[in-house]
Amino acid sequence: MEKALTIYKTTRDKLNAFNYAMYVISWDSETEAPVGCMEERSKQIGNLVAMMLEVSHSKEYVEAVKTLYDNKNYLDSDLQVEITKVWEELEKELKIPEKELVEYEKLLAKANSIWCEAKLTNNYALFAPVLGEIIKWQKKYIHYLETDRLKGYDVLLNDYEKGFTQKEYDAFFTALKQDLVPFVKKIMTLKPIDDAFVYKTYDVDKQKQFAKYLMDVMCFDQNYGLTKESEHPFTSGYGTTDVRVTCHYYENILTSSIFSMIHELGHATYERQCDKKYDDTALSGGSTMAMHESQSRFYENIVGRSQSFWNRHYPILQKIFDKELKDITVDEFYHAVNKSENSLIRTEADELTYPLHIMVRYDMEKAIMSSEIDINELPKLWNQLYKEYLGIDVPNDTKGILQDVHWAGGSFGYFPTYALGSAYGAQLFHQMKKELDVDEVFGEEKLTKVNAWLKEKVHKYAGSKTSKEILLMVTGEEFNPQYYIEYLKEKYSKIYNLK
> Which among 384, 392, 353, 387 is positioned nearest to 367, based on CA atoms?
384
Is residue 388 annotated as part of the catalytic site, yes or no? no
Interface residue with a second copy among 69, 118, 218, 239 (CB under 8 A) is: 239
> Of 13-21, 132-140, 171-179, 263-271, which segment contacts a second copy by CB under 8 A?
13-21
Touching a second copy, residues 244-283 (CB under 8 A): 279-280
Question: Least distance (Å) from a second copy to the CB of residue 123?
Answer: 27
The residue (of 12 and 313) whose beta carbon lies closer to a second copy is: 12
- Region class of 478: left (phi > 0), else alpha (psi between -120 and 50), else beta: beta
**CB 283, min distance to a second copy, A:** 16
The CB-of-65 to a second copy minimum distance in angstroms stands at 19
Residue 228 binds a second copy (CB under 8 A): yes
- Which of 48, 373 has the CB closer to a second copy? 48
Closest distance of CB 261 from a second copy, Å: 17
- For residue 360, the minimal CB distance to a second copy (Å) is 39
CB of 39 to a second copy, least distance (A): 7
Q: Which of residues 21-60 bind a second copy (CB under 8 A)?
A: 21, 24-25, 27-28, 32-37, 39-41, 43-44, 47-48, 51
Rounded-to-integer distance, Cα 497 and Cα 186, Å: 12
* Least separation in angstroms between CB 214 and a second copy: 18
24 vs 190 by CB, closer to a second copy: 24
**Toward a second copy, which CB reaches closer, 14 or 72?**
14
Pick between residue 42 and residue 329 the one whose CB is nearest to a second copy: 42
The residue (of 24 and 125) whose beta carbon lies closer to a second copy is: 24
**Of 386, 380, 378, 384, nearest in space to 412 by CA:** 378
- Which residue in 1, 9, 17, 396 binds a second copy (CB under 8 A)? 17
Size of the site for a second copy (CB under 8 A): 37
78 near a second copy, judged by CB under 8 A: no
| Residue 137 vs 224, nearer CB to a second copy | 224
Identify which range of 110-118, 138-146, 225-233, 318-326 contacts a second copy by CB under 8 A: 225-233
Q: Does 222 bind a second copy (CB under 8 A)?
A: yes
Q: Which of 82, 161, 168, 264 is catalytic?
A: 264
| By the rule CB under 8 A, 204 interacts with a second copy | no
Nearest to 338, CA basis, from 488, 498, 179, 173 = 488
Q: Does 80 bind a second copy (CB under 8 A)?
A: no
From residue 111, alpha-carbon distances to 101, 120, 128, 267 in Å are 15, 14, 10, 28
Binding to a second copy by residue 224, rule CB under 8 A? Answer: yes
Smallest distance from a second copy to CB 227, Å:
10
Q: Which of 14, 139, 335, 460 binds a second copy (CB under 8 A)?
A: 14
The residue type at 432: M
First to last CA, the chain: 65
| Residue nearer to a second copy on the CB measure, 272 or 305 | 272
**Of the candidate residues 67, 112, 230, 241, the single one contacting a second copy (CB under 8 A):** 241
The residues assigned a catalytic role are 264
**Where on the chain is the footprint of a second copy (CB under 8 A)?**
13-14, 16-17, 20-21, 24-25, 27-28, 32-37, 39-41, 43-44, 47-48, 51, 221-226, 228, 238-239, 241-242, 279-280
